[in-house]
Amino acid sequence: MSTQVPKQKEAESPAEEESAPSVGKQRRDQAKAERRTAAEKQKEAAEKAKEAEDTYHIKVFRYDPEVEGKQEPRFDEFHVPFTKGMTVLDALMYARDHYDPSLTFRHSCRQAICGSDAFFVNGSQKLGCKTQLSELSEPVRIEPLPHQDVVKDLVVDMDHFYEQMHAIEPYFDPDELPDGELEEQRQTRENREKVKMSTRCIWCGACMSSCNIAAGDNQYLGPAAINKAYRFAMDEREGEARKQERLKIIEQEHGVWRCQTQFSCTEVCPKDIPLTEHIQELKREAVKSNLKFW
């Protein structure tokens, strides 16, 4: 048995030596083929863009900390064929699919509901799927949301934003539940109208990115989280004891009192939520909750 093992190794080693270069050559050939395909694809897209009657010039922020040569932030320029109704997200997808498959950005529903494609477009926070190219001046400059750590290209780290949203405990906790097992918690139409706009938040982070206070105070809850607190605190189905606990959360040092009423969050909100008004109303509620008459 002991004499057979070395013989097997000796017999296998030449084959291994022959297969190693072969595998390496296959990989190199495959990489070359992929580069040729990508180059041909880019050339074809460029020719198609030249032939198009109308094109749009976009400048896209690029950054990739994991790839040598791409660790320095830069802007790449693309010319995309324009069609009626084309959005910023459409343009980015065209550039990714026809010019550079490594272009990275978030998107999902394309219906202004998921909130994943918030970008900094021509100096303002906007949803890519909702923003029409025809409404923008060229070149269209597309950057990641400001005041957030960039992961890659247009993708930013949203962990801190989500932590702030969860800090106000965004869920109902009524004092009492209906007696019947299938009986719902009723809400008046007037109260529904009062909180309706606040329920439209899609957690895109545009308002937080536009807020100068949030940029300088990492502990500030921010307009999105405070709006979410408003949505529950002002709902008549919320228990009174729970409402008082929620007001204590938002009236802390880094809560509603840090807002300086700049209206920047309201201006950039893609769902037209009156965020600043909601913050001011919560300030009034916090004051009233601390008033004592005796």
**In which residue ranges of the chain is CATH 1.10.1060.10 found?**
158-177+186-290
CA distance 168 to 1: 71
Contact assessment for residue 145 and residue 117, using Cβ atoms and an 8 Å cutoff: no
Span 55-155: which CATH code?
3.10.20.30
Contact assessment for residue 88 and residue 142, using Cβ atoms and an 8 Å cutoff: yes
CA distance 142 to 184: 46
Strand order in the sheet with 74-81: 74-81, 55-62, 140-143, 118-121, 124-127
Which ranges constitute the DSSP H helices of 178-262? Answer: 189-196, 206-210, 212-216, 223-233, 240-250
CA distance 287 to 13: 82
Q: 34-77 pLDDT, tens per residue?
A: 666 666 666 666 666 656 569 999 999 999 999 888 899 999 99
With cut-offs at 50, 70 and 90, classify the pLDDT of residue 12: very low
Pick left, alpha or beta for residue 258 (phi over 0 → left; psi -120 to 50 → alpha; otherwise beta): alpha
CA distance 168 to 162: 11
Closest among 60, 91, 56 to 73, alpha carbons compared? 60
Contact assessment for residue 228 and residue 198, using Cβ atoms and an 8 Å cutoff: yes
Contact assessment for residue 217 and residue 160, using Cβ atoms and an 8 Å cutoff: no
Tell me the longest C-alpha to C-alpha distance in the chain. Answer: 102
Pick the CATH number of 158-177+186-290 from 1.10.1060.10, 3.10.450.50, 3.40.50.2020, 1.20.210.10: 1.10.1060.10
pLDDT over threshold 70, residue 149: yes
Task: Report how far apart the first and last C-alpha atoms of the chain are (Å, whole number).
Answer: 100
Q: 66-99 pLDDT, tens per residue?
A: 988 889 999 999 999 999 999 999 999 999 999 9
Q: Cβ of 104: how many Cβ atoms within 10 Å?
A: 16
Question: pTM of this prediction?
Answer: 0.79
Beta bridge mates, 73: none
Q: What is the pLDDT at residue 241?
A: 87
Interior/surface letters 58-69, b for 16+ CB within 10 angstroms, e for the rest = bbbbbbbeeeee
Contact assessment for residue 256 and residue 204, using Cβ atoms and an 8 Å cutoff: no
pLDDT over threshold 90, residue 20: no
Pick left, alpha or beta for residue 122 (phi over 0 → left; psi -120 to 50 → alpha; otherwise beta): left
Q: What is the pLDDT at residue 9?
A: 42
**In which residue ranges of the chain is CATH 3.10.20.30 found?**
55-155
Closest among 167, 168, 172, 166 to 235, alpha carbons compared? 172
Beta bridge mates, 77: 59
